[in-house]
Every structure is written in structure tokens, then in C-alpha cells.
Amino acid sequence: MLLQVAVLTLIVGCASRSAYVNPQGPDTAVNAGQINIQDFAAAADTFVNEILERVSQGQLPSSRPGKPAIMAISRITNKTLQHVDIDQLVKKIRVQLNRSGRILTTTTLAYGEVEDPLAKQTQEQLQALGKADGPLIADYTLSGSILDDIARKSRMTTQASYIFQLSLTDRNGIALWESEYIVTKQGRKAAVTW
């Protein structure tokens, strides 16, 4: 009985406490061995600000006078050594652009699988019935890649850089905007995972 009380006390005493933190705040966990939520958010914020600045300067016009330009998501490739959910970056970019009202994104036109197959099917049915214009053609496509560069700084410290590269291409295949965002972190060797 005394042993059971001691084990229970040890388990309760060693239990970690969990707490909510602001995902943009200073208390988020940083792991040199992976791309964290704040890395995706910072990259998306940078890219969106650059794209919207181009829109403000009239460099990314819409093909539909008086309406926002339409952007489709093309291929964004994970070239890192780890599993990366590209949607963590793409969705943040799409949400911010759509909220701005200055560039809208489509969920029915994409490289590979469309995000919303039902909306795509509805769009095709309306076109077949003559109740919609022809197929949606995006003004721009967003493509790119995420890369990593892992280097040993010292015997116990490893540095990991994650490179986000994106391009915005017009209907003629001309890259009208390209950017790169780099996140570099250092950590103890055991903290870096591949």
C-alpha cells in the first residue's frame, strides 16, 4: 500500500501541466528540427504583404474590370527531409488574400486535386446548363517549394534553415512576383530531427 501511494505521488508530481499559448506570442515552442506553426505564419504574412503591395501598385491587375484578380494554387513542393503539411502555408496565404478582397483564390482550379470537388462539380453543371460563364480561368497561379539546409555548428549544436520560395505567374507564363523567406534555428543536436 505504501508503495502504491509513493508511485501515485510520483506520477502526479511529475505530470506536466498544459496551457494554451498565443500562436503568435513569445511562449510558443521552437524546435530546430521542424517547421513550427509560427514559421508558417511568418512566411505567409511576408508573402501576403508583398503580393498585396504589388496589387496596390497596379502590378497585378484583374482580367475582370472592377473585380479582384483570381489566383489558383499550383504545385508547392516539399523538398525537405521531413513531412511538411504544405496546407499550413497555403491556407494561411489564401485566407489573408481572400479577407483582403483585393485578390480572391479559387477552390475549383488547382494543380492535382481541387480543394472543393463539390463546388467544381456544381460549376461544371451550371456551365453545361448554360447558367454560368465558361470555365474559370485564373489570372495568376501560385507555385513554389520548401527546402531545408541542415548544418552542424559545433559538436552539440545544429543549425536548420527552412527556405520558403514562391512564385506568382500570370496567364502568359511570366513570373510577376517571386520571393523567398528563410527561417534559421539552432538547437542541441538531439533536438534536431530528420
**Length of the chain as a residue count:** 194
Banded model confidence at residue 131, pLDDT cuts 50, 70, 90 = confident
DSSP string, the chain: -HHHHHHHHHHHHHPPPP----TTSTTS---TTS--HHHHHHHHHHHHHHHHHHHHTTSS--SSTTS-EEEEEEEEEEESSS---THHHHHHHHHHHHHHTSEEEEEEEESSS-S-HHHHHHHHHHHHTTSS-S----SEEEEEEEEEEEEESSSSEEEEEEEEEEEEEETTS-EEEEEEEEEEEEEEGGG---
Domain ranges of the chain: 35-144+164-178
pLDDT at 2 over 90: no
What pLDDT, on a 0 to 100 scale, did the predictor assign at position 103?
Answer: 96
pLDDT at 9: 55
Cα–Cα distance for residue pair 142/71, rounded to 1 Å: 7
Output the pLDDT for position 178.
Answer: 98
CA distances from 134 to 39, 77, 106, 116 (A): 39, 30, 15, 18
Full-model pTM:
0.81
Residue 115 confidence (pLDDT): 85
Q: Which residue has the higher pLDDT, 187 or 162?
A: 162
**What is the mean predicted confidence (pLDDT) over 25-42?**
84
Measure the CA–CA gap between 15 and 177, rounded to whole angstroms. 50
Query: Would you state the pLDDT for residue 42?
Result: 95
How confident is the model at residue 191, as a pLDDT? Answer: 47
Query: Which grid cell sits at 163?
Result: 527556405
Q: Place 54 in a pLDDT band, splitting at 50, 70 and 90.
A: very high
| 146, 163 Cβ separation under 8 angstroms | yes
pLDDT digits (tens, 9 = 90+) for 139-179: 999 999 999 998 887 888 889 999 999 999 999 999 999 99
Q: What is the mean pLDDT of the segment spanning 20-42?
A: 81
pLDDT-based confidence at residue 192 (cuts at 50, 70, 90): very low
What are the tens digits of pLDDT across the range 78-119?
999 899 999 999 999 999 999 999 999 998 888 778 888 888
Q: Which residue has the higher pLDDT, 87 or 133?
A: 87
Secondary structure of 46-68 as H, E, C letters: HHHHHHHHHHHCCCCCCCCCCCC
